[in-house]
Amino acid sequence: MPTWRWWLGVTLLGGGLLSAFWILDGGLGDVLHVLMGVIITISFIAGVAIRALTFVMSARGIYLRYSTAITIAGFGIMVAILVLPILL
């Protein structure tokens, strides 16, 4: 398990790199801006939908292993939504 210092370092390094691209005028900065916005939006929507589904399953008494399987499948669905348009 990584320590909090490791996570802090990675966060600062990654955030610094992304912010450097973010403030660029045109070119790569605009592409990253749109790409990050799309990824964040799709991830949020997929996460909310899957979490709502697991709450409904839990309320109806469906076993935890099925909820876990749905959660893992939801991650795959989010990745597919992001990758399939590139492949087609």
pLDDT at 62 over 70: yes
Note the pLDDT of residue 23: 74
Domain that holds residue 54: 25-87
> What is the pTM assigned to this prediction?
0.55
Q: Is residue 62 part of a domain?
A: yes
pLDDT at 39 over 70: yes
What Å distances lie between residue 37 and 27, 33, 47, 55, 71, CA to CA?
16, 6, 15, 27, 23
Q: Which of 45, 41, 51, 44 is nearest to 71 (CA)?
A: 51
Note the pLDDT of residue 25: 66
Q: Is residue 75 part of a domain?
A: yes
| Domain count within the chain | 1
Range list of H helices, the chain: 4-22, 28-59, 64-87
Q: Identify the band that residue 7 occupies on the pLDDT scale cut at 50, 70 and 90.
A: confident
Q: Is residue 3 part of a domain?
A: no
Q: Is residue 42 part of a domain?
A: yes
Q: Is residue 13 part of a domain?
A: no
Contact by Cβ (8 Å): 46, 77: yes
Sequence-separated contacts (24+) of 51-56 with Cβ below 8 Å: none
Q: Is residue 68 part of a domain?
A: yes
